Amino acid sequence: MAGRTDGLIKTFTASGAISARSLVKFGAADNLVVVATAATDAIIGASGELDAADGEPVDICLSGLAEVRYGGNVTRGTSLLTAAAGGEAVAAAPAAGVNNRIVGVAMVSGVDNDIGLVLLAPGQIQGA
């Protein structure tokens, strides 16, 4: 792995268990975050190096480079990353006319269960 350079990190409260290096989205209240589990989730960033139980504080990287757990094959520079069912980062591959929310672009190539880097740039893409 190329290394880690954190950007803006904010502490939230976990709503449900959040594993280390998972993609997250906002929860039911302003200071709550939950694991992002689908390509349609509005992903805001990635959790830090420690697991968090329900109700515990959890650091979320919101900008810059963040470590994430990959959930499949990812190619640096070309894979735009979205969320898989367990909060892992996977390459977004929306079907024609379908929207996927993305968290950013992969900075390191890898496979399922690797820890890689993402340049955080949340957004949305549509399949062609």
Q: What is the pLDDT along the chain (128 residues), one digit of tens a residue?
A: 455 566 899 999 999 999 999 999 999 999 999 999 999 999 999 999 999 999 999 999 999 999 999 999 999 999 999 999 999 999 999 999 999 999 999 999 999 999 999 999 999 999 99
- The string of DSSP codes covering the chain is -----B--EEEEEESS-B-TT-EEEE-SSTTEEEE--STTS-EEEEE-SS-B-TTSEEEEE-SEEEEEEBSS-B-TTT-EEEE-TTS-EEE--PPBT-EEEEEEEESS-B-TT-EEEEEEEEEEEEB-
| Total-model pTM | 0.94
Set out the domains of the chain in order of their start, with CATH numbers: 1-128 (2.40.300)
